[in-house]
């Protein structure tokens, strides 16, 4: 039986990060993966979705390019090539991770693995002894009774990536990050798009003002949505909602989140990533892995969230509804007030800062580049930099970042 310092089951962001960091510290590492290296994020989630989303945004921009003095005649959508570009992107990034693992001398076993004890893993006909074992087996699309995936009419977020042709219409059940991003994708491509959300607002985990702005953006883009609504009945592909609205979508995307993959708990084994049922974000899983291997701590209450598309949506820290019973200050800057936004024609959105006792405690952004802007604010909040000290920083002009600077003085 071959012996290792570290055995890891699952080669998603949590697993391959733990493997690479363990190897960098001189540990002998074995990594098990029954499917593709990269896990859900690379193969079925973050990366393929962003690739298709970029294509859809580009397509929409080309259609509206006359506003900027550019006329494009005969622009056509070839969705098969959109998918081809997505697949090439995944393959390129996957090869990069595989090469990094190889160069780090991580042993990769392409078999389904079973954790037998806190020091033993079996895969195929072999057993592996490990001083330490990490389980990072990820998650799968969540099922809802009555909307079980048939992979034809009821699709999961995995299934939707396998579409060869675009539908004429789609119903999306759920308006978390997955639902919002796919609604934007299909709408950009000209698909009749409807979203159903059980909560009182779209993107219910966000700050209330962010949710309201998303609803406004959806209305402007003619994306239909129903809040405080569920699917009541389905008969022969006719969908009846709880508000008695009748829909006849070509397909239904069930996007109500993900559920941890089944993994028998073994005492002494470390569990990280989506399988823990905590925050199901790749960057959270990566930080868990680094914390476990390198002992670099991080704050779980300051994990930034990003929803992609135009404009991007990002937040970190406290929401305004979290502070309702406390004393706090709020500042808000409209993106339309920024010179760069006017030049780009991307004026929708705002930067909202929440503070207590002269320090930021929450930040919420709806804007182009929100995914980058939120990191500046995450650093400020985590390091408890006072608003007065942040005012001393020189922000470049014209940028979207100077919206943060403006908000500090509100």
Say if residue 260's pLDDT is above 90.
yes
Is it the case that residue 407 has pLDDT exceeding 90?
Answer: yes
Instruction: Please tell me whether residues 7 and 129 are part of one structural domain.
Output: yes
Please give the structure tokens belonging to residue 293: 């291997």
**pLDDT at residue number 343:** 97
Query: Do 130 and 188 fall into the same domain?
Result: no
| Range 371-378 average pLDDT | 98
Alpha carbons within 13 A on the beta-carbon side of 36: 16
CATH at 352: 3.30.390.30
Whether the per-residue pLDDT at 327 is higher than 90: the answer is: yes
User: Residue 29's pLDDT is what?
Assistant: 98
Band (pLDDT 50/70/90 cuts) for residue 227 is: very high
Domain containing residue 307: 303-408
Q: Are residues 328 and 341 in the same domain?
A: yes
Q: How far apart are CA 55 and CA 77, in angstroms?
A: 10
What is the total count of domains within the chain? Answer: 3
Residues 266 and 119 in one domain: yes
**How much is the pLDDT for 264?**
83
Mean pLDDT of 231-235: 94
Q: What's the pTM value of the predicted model, to 2 decimals?
A: 0.96
- Do 266 and 244 lie in one domain? The reply is no
Q: How far apart are CA 252 and CA 170, in angstroms?
A: 6
Q: Are residues 231 and 328 in the same domain?
A: no
Domain final residue pick, 232, 256, 280: 256
Residue with tokens 């980058």: 372
Burial code (b: 16+ CB inside 10 Å, e: under 16) for 42-67 equals: bbbbbbbbebbbbbbbebbbeeeeee
Identify the pLDDT of residue 80.
95
Supply the DSSP string of 82-114, one letter for each residue: HHHHHHHHHHHHHHHHHHHHHHTT-EEE-S-EE
Residues with Cβ < 8 Å from 244, sequence gap 6 or more? 232
pLDDT reading at 1 higher than 90: no
Residue 195: partners with Cβ closer than 8 Å, 6 or more residues away = 171, 172, 174, 175, 179, 180, 183, 202, 218, 223, 224, 225, 226
- Same domain? For 349 and 283 the reply is no
Predicted pLDDT of residue 67:
87
| Mean pLDDT computed over every residue of the chain | 97
The pLDDT of residue 356 is 98
Q: Is the domain of 269 the same as that of 130?
A: yes
CATH number of the domain that 41 lies in?
3.50.50.60
Q: What percent of the chain has pLDDT over 70?
A: 100
**One domain, residues 58 and 147:** no
| Stretch (H or E) spanning 115 | strand 113-117
Mean pLDDT along residues 208-223: 98
Asked whether residue 194 falls in the same domain as residue 215, the answer is yes
pLDDT reported for residue 262 = 86
Q: What is the pLDDT of residue 198?
A: 97
Three-state SS for 234-294 is: EECCEEEECCCCEECCCEEEECCCEEECCCCCCCCCEECHHHHCCCCCHHHHHHHHHHHHH
What are the tens digits of pLDDT across the range 26-82?
Answer: 999 999 999 999 999 999 999 999 999 999 999 999 988 998 999 998 889 999 999
Question: Which of 274, 294, 314 is at the close of a domain?
Answer: 294
Cα separation of 333 and 93, whole Å? 37
Q: Are 290 and 275 in contact (CB under 8 A)?
A: no
Statement to judge: residues 346 and 400 lie in one domain? yes
- Residue ending a domain, among 240, 272, 294, is 294
Residues 333-345: pLDDT tens digits?
999 999 999 999 9
| Residue 207: alpha-carbon gap to chain centroid | 17
Q: How far apart are CA 384 and CA 372, in angstroms?
A: 19
Per-residue pLDDT, averaged over 315-339, amounts to: 97
251 has which bridge partners?
170
One domain, residues 103 and 81:
yes
pLDDT given for residue 203 in this prediction? 98
pLDDT tens digits, residue range 345-357?
A: 999 999 999 999 9
Per residue in 235-257, pLDDT (tens digit) is 989 999 999 999 999 999 999 99
């Amino acid at each position: 039986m071959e012996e290792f310092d570290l055995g890891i089951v699952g080669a998603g962001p949590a697993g391959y990060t733990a493997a690479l960091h363990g190897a960098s510290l001189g540990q002998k590492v074995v990594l098990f993966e029954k499917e593709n290296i990269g896990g859900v994020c690379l193969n079925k989630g973050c990366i393929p979705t962003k690739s298709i989303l970029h294509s859809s945004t580009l397509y929409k921009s080309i259609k509206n390019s006359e506003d900027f003095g550019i006329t494009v005649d005969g622009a056509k959508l070839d969705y098969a090539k959109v998918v081809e570009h997505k697949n090439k992107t995944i393959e390129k990034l996957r090869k990069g991770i595989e090469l990094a693992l190889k160069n780090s001398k991580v042993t990769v076993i392409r078999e389904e693995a079973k954790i037998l004890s806190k020091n033993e893993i079996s895969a195929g006909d072999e057993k592996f002894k490990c001083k330490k074992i990490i389980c990072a087996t990820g998650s799968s699309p969540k099922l809802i009774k009555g909307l079980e995936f048939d992979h034809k009419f009821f699709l999961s977020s995995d299934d939707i990536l396998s579409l060869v042709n675009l539908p004429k219409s789609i119903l999306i059940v759920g308006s978390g990050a997955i639902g919002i991003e796919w609604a934007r994708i299909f709408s950009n491509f000209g698909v009749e798009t409807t979203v159903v959300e059980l909560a009182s607002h779209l993107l219910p985990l966000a700050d209330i003002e962010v949710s309201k702005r998303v609803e406004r953006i959806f209305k402007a883009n003619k994306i239909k949505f129903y809040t405080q609504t569920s699917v009541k009945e389905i008969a022969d592909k006719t969908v009846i909602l709880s508000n008695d609205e009748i829909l006849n979508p070509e397909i239904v995307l069930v996007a109500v989140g993900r559920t941890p993959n089944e993994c028998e708990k073994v005492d002494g084994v470390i569990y990280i990533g989506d399988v823990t049922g905590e925050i199901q974000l790749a960057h959270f899983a990566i930080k868990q892995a680094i914390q476990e291997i390198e002992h670099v701590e991080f704050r779980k209450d300051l994990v930034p969230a990003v929803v992609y598309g135009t404009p991007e949506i990002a937040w970190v820290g406290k929401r305004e509804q979290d502070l309702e019973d406390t004393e706090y200050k709020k500042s808000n800057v409209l993106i339309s007030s920024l010179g760069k936004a006017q030049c780009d024609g991307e004026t929708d959105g705002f930067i909202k800062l929440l503070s207590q006792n002269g320090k930021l405690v929450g930040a919420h952004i709806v804007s182009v580049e929100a995914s980058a802007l939120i990191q500046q604010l995450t650093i400020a909040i985590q390091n408890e930099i006072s608003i007065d000290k942040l005012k001393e920083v020189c922000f470049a002009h014209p940028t979207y970042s100077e919206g943060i600077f403006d908000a500090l003085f509100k």
